[in-house]
């Protein structure tokens, strides 16, 4: 399988090169040259297949022959070692829980898959890669956990001071080994900007291989398509068209869902549910793509003003605005509405949504469900990750799961920086 750059001004590359580079030299996102639908029998028999078999069949064409079958199956068994249940919330709405992994964020699957692929590519050489990542909260923890102890890989995480929760900060500052946390005096956009500047800085990249573990990296992005197949397997017997509502920030997760659809998975509709960062909602209304700086909300993992994967979604719809609008909608909700939705779901069914899941629920409500449709909203984070909001809004105490308890007593270790030159000095100093 070859990948091309969406900026169309760089050579095609293999899967391993796309993973190691992250972004193409022309700054474009990599995109698979072909997406071949799976045989109809795959979907007819999906309830008989286990998660690893489903994942293997779905991802194999994107990896090609660069990872042998037995190795790829081992990687998937490792990555998918927890559950992805669809939990019924009302008669016609369920939630797909993606938060049962080691950091309780849905990014665990993508981060671990990318880490295991890089580990495989580095097995028989002395290559060295630095994963540079900006986080608004959850990416950092999932990446730190996924890459811990991986040979030939160092991870440098930038996060905004005061804008991530205490639990999130502990998840990315307490692991040590090959993981370094840099606390930036600024907001998430500043972190992202510094990372982008570093990728373009030849005084660094001439000497070091930098890559990204954000969802622009194909190995972080593509495995997310498994979630949609796992959900389909669980609700197929309802014989209804599924409307997926995906709480969206950089739009990587929902974009992977559309890839699952391209693989032949029957689907009713996609809803991208967002907070007040509504660039895509405005685009679908006006046809004018006009990104704005991000605004802070209680669903902070979606505080993205210029969603990096939206361009991949446009490519999946052949850059055709009207076919995109046929199958894809997007709705925006503010914080008070999100809090009300958390209460509504709790009153209806005692189900505890985190703020991101609540935005997903709202998207289904706003879109509306016909009799022949079943709605699934994705729960992208465990409520414990947003403890302050959840306990403030709902009359409950959230129990602390074991994997969170483990980091709570550990001491945070980070280096404080406030400008790009600090990051550059840090990266160059390590070489010495």
Ligand X SMILES: *Cc1c(COP(=O)(O)O)cnc(C)c1O
- The beta strand positions in 235-390, using DSSP E, are 241-247, 269-274, 328-332, 373-379
If one asks whether residue 275 binds ligand X (CB under 6 A), the answer comes out as no
d(CA 344, CA 354): 13
If one asks whether residue 248 binds ligand X (CB under 6 A), the answer comes out as yes
d(CA 121, CA 312): 25
Stretch in the footprint of ligand X (CB under 6 A) among 10-18, 126-134, 191-199, 241-249: 241-249
Strand partners, 90: 93
Q: Measured from the CB of residue 301, what is the shortest distance to ligand X in angstroms? A: 3
Nearer to ligand X, 301 or 316 (CB): 301
Edge-to-edge order in the sheet of strand 13-14: 13-14, 2-5, 30-32
Among 23, 218, 302, 376, binds ligand X (CB under 6 A): 302
Q: Helix (H, G, I), strand (E, B), or coil: what is residue 239? A: coil
If one asks whether residue 252 binds ligand X (CB under 6 A), the answer comes out as yes
Q: Measured from the CB of residue 105, what is the shortest distance to ligand X in angstroms? A: 5
If one asks whether residue 18 binds ligand X (CB under 6 A), the answer comes out as no
Task: Describe the crossing of helices 252-262 and 225-235 by its angle, rounded to 10 degrees.
Answer: 60
Q: Measured from the CB of residue 271, what is the shortest distance to ligand X in angstroms? A: 13
Annotated catalytic residue 107: yes
**Residue 296: how many CB atoms within 10 A of its CB?**
15
If one asks whether residue 251 binds ligand X (CB under 6 A), the answer comes out as yes
Q: Measured from the CB of residue 247, what is the shortest distance to ligand X in angstroms? A: 5
If one asks whether residue 247 binds ligand X (CB under 6 A), the answer comes out as yes
What torsion do the CA atoms of 37, 41, 45, 48 make, to the nearest 10 degrees? Answer: -80
- Of 21, 107, 233, 385, the active-site residue reads 107
**Residues 375 to 394 in contact with ligand X, rule: CB under 6 A:** 380-381
Q: Helix (H, G, I), strand (E, B), or coil: what is residue 184? A: strand
x-marked contacts with ligand X along 63-82 as a string, rule CB under 6 A: --------------------
> Which residues make up the interface to ligand X (CB under 6 A)?
105, 107, 138, 215, 247-253, 301-302, 356, 380-381
């Amino acid at each position: 399988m070859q990948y091309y750059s969406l900026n169309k001004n760089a050579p095609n590359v293999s899967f391993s090169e796309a993973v190691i580079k992250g972004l193409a030299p022309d700054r474009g996102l990599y995109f698979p040259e072909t997406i071949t639908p799976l045989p109809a029998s795959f979907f007819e028999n999906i309830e008989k297949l286990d998660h690893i078999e489903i994942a293997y069949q779905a991802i194999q064409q994107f990896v090609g022959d660069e990872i042998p079958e037995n190795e790829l199956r081992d990687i998937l068994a490792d990555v998918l070692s927890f559950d992805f249940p669809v939990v019924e919330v009302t008669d016609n709405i369920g939630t797909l829980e993606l938060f049962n992994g080691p950091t309780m964020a849905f990014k665990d699957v993508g981060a671990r898959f990318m880490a295991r692929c890089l580990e495989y590519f580095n097995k028989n050489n002395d290559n060295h890669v630095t994963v540079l990542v900006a986080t608004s909260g959850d990416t950092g923890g999932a990446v730190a956990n996924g890459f811990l102890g991986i040979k030939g890989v160092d991870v440098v995480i930038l996060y905004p001071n005061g804008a991530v929760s205490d639990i999130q900060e502990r998840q990315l500052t307490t692991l040590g080994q090959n993981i370094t946390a840099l606390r930036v005096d600024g907001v998430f956009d500043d972190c992202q900007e510094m990372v982008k500047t570093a990728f373009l800085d030849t005084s660094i990249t001439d000497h070091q291989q930098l890559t990204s573990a954000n969802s622009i990296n194909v190995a972080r992005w593509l495995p997310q398509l498994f979630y949609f197949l796992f959900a389909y397997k669980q609700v197929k017997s309802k014989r209804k068209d599924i409307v997926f509502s995906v709480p969206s920030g950089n739009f990587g997760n929902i974009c992977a869902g559309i890839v699952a659809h391209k693989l032949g998975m029957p689907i009713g509709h996609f809803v991208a549910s967002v907070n007040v960062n509504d660039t895509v909602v405005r685009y679908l209304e006006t046809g004018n793509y006009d990104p704005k700086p991000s605004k802070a909300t209680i669903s902070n993992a979606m505080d993205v003003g210029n969603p990096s994967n939206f361009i991949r979604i446009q490519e999946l719809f052949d850059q055709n605005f009207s076919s995109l609008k046929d199958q894809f909608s997007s709705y925006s909700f503010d914080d008070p509405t999100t809090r009300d939705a958390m209460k509504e779901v709790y009153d209806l069914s005692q189900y505890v949504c985190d703020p991101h899941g609540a935005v997903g629920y709202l998207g289904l409500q706003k879109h509306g469900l016909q009799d022949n449709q079943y709605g699934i909203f994705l729960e992208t984070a465990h409520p414990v990750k947003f403890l302050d909001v959840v306990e403030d809004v709902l009359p409950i105490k959230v129990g602390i799961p074991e994997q969170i308890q483990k980091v709570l007593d550990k001491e945070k270790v980070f280096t404080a920086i406030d400008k790009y030159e600090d990051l550059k000095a840090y990266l160059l100093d390590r070489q010495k």
